[in-house]
A = this chain, B = another copy of it.
Amino acid sequence: MTYIPNTPAEQQAMLRTLGAETIEDLLGAIPAEARLPRPLDLPPAMSEPALRRHEMALAGKNLNLDEALCFLGAGSYDRLVPSVVAHLAKRSEFLTSYTPYQPEVSQGMLQATYEFQTMVCQITGMEIANASLYDGSTAVVEAALLALGPGGRGEVLVSRGVDPQYRATLATYAHARGFTLREIALENGATSTRDLHAHLGPNTKAVIVQQPNFFGVVEDMPALEGLAHTTKALFVAAITEPASLGVLAPPGAYNADIVAAEGSSLGNPIGYGGPALGLFAAKSDLMRRMPGRLVGETVDDRGQRGFVLTLQAREQQIRREKATSNICTNQALLAVFATVYLASLGKQGFRELGVQCVQRAHYAFDQLTAIPGVEPIFDRPFFDEFAVKLPKPVSKVNRTLAKHNIIGGYDLSRTYPELGKNAALFCVTEARTRDDIDQLVSALKEAVQ
């Protein structure tokens, strides 16, 4: 049960070359009072096969999306991923490398990241993008921090249509960093321009709106952007469902300053929500204030094109307390997955992805709302998620659906209590066939009886 190659005998020989007898002799710097006087109280070592069986049993206790039909979205999406993606992205040269500090032997990661940055720009319509952040929520935080600037004081407005977990994360950082966070109300499921107008002021540094918003509703981004830009605030588009960019106008088209998004559904396993992939794109004038790593093109001493980590003067390893962000380890490998995934879909496929989500979700919406007692909550265009009122509490309905191996919609009652106990948010991605949807409809009919 060890990954230590050297045997005790070899270690003994090594100790001898050091003039030591035991490893204890090397640990003299540790004061005795600091030493743990007993073995760690942990479960005993397990052999590889025993551990494999143990974890297969643990994993078996989870209902997975290969076994169940998933109609749950709310920030994480059951996406179809071509086989090529993992085959390539998991290659050990990528998997087992560190941050590419030595570019001469890291051109693979660097070029893949450069391609990733480009693709993020291509789908968002933005000018530049970084090499990744932790996840969508912290990308939104970084967007706020960038907008706030050094010192970090000022006001950030966030729509109530932004993912509740993202707002919670923002609130945590707002408290610590000392900036003001205000929520913009919704009207009929979309960000209220009236309320935004009412909150905008000279101290407003950022306006954050999610597109499509948490309810799947397609926001009127040009209107909100126009309003936001009547002040000096930066307009931040948050995106949790990047597939929407296949058909919806990209943030670049509505003049967003920053895009902060969750990109893990681009080719990565859903993995209980982590690791996730924060995407961060911006206008190019924000380049030297960007958080996170950036890969740039350059030449080598033989005159060949090559890639390097660049503009590191923004980063903690150089700038320390003056860095634009504290991030170091990011989500590089997930970015490679996303790059292979997006290459694999390509121009046509990425559009088709968006189209399929919209069409399948609308079919499901029509079928579900045809069930007596199931009512749409908002009267707004939507992408691949929609909120409906059920005749019974969502938690009850979901328990019945689970018996049919269906993972039902998101229960809105905790995060949007104003919608009551019976409001559910259903998600229908490109992975759900007509038959899947019909199964949901018939199971739901039974559940609401």
Q: A residues within 8 Å of B by Cβ?
A: 48-49, 52, 56, 66, 80, 82-83, 87, 92, 431
CA of A92 to CA of B83, assembled, Å = 14
Contact A431 B49, beta carbon cutoff 8 Å? yes
- Bound together, the chains give a CA A48 to CA B83 distance in angstroms of 8
Complex: how many Å from CA A82 to CA B82? Answer: 27
Complex CA–CA separation, A52 to B82 (angstroms): 10
A46 to nearest B CB, angstroms?
A: 12
8 Å CB contact of A87 from B49, B80, B82, B92: B92
- A47's nearest neighbour on chain B, judged by CB, is B80
Query: Measured between alpha carbons, how far is A232 from B56 in the docked complex, in Å?
Result: 54
Of all chain B residues, the one with the shortest Cβ separation from A82 is B48
Q: In the complex, A66 Cα to B56 Cα: how many Å?
A: 9
Assembly CA distance A56 to B87 (angstroms): 18
Q: Which residues of B contact A48 (CB under 8 A)?
A: 80, 82-83
Q: How far is the CB of A90 from chain B (nearest CB, A)?
A: 9
Residues of B within 8 A of A92 (CB): 87
Determine the residue in chain B with the shortest Cβ distance to A67.
B60
CA distance A87 to B87 in the complex (A): 11
Q: A431 vs B49: C-alpha distance in the bound complex, in angstroms?
A: 8
Cβ contacts under 8 Å, A80 to chain B:
48-49
4 extra A-B contacts, CB within 8 A, seeds A49-B80, A56-B66, A87-B92 = A48-B80, A48-B83, A49-B431, A52-B83
| Chain B residues, CB < 8 A from A82 | 48
Q: In the complex, what distance in Å separates the CA atom of A225 from the CA atom of B87?
A: 49
Q: Report the minimal beta-carbon distance from A78 to chain B, rounded to whole angstroms.
A: 11
Cα separation A56 to B49 with both chains bound (whole Å): 25
Q: Which residue of B lies closest to A56 (CB)?
A: B66
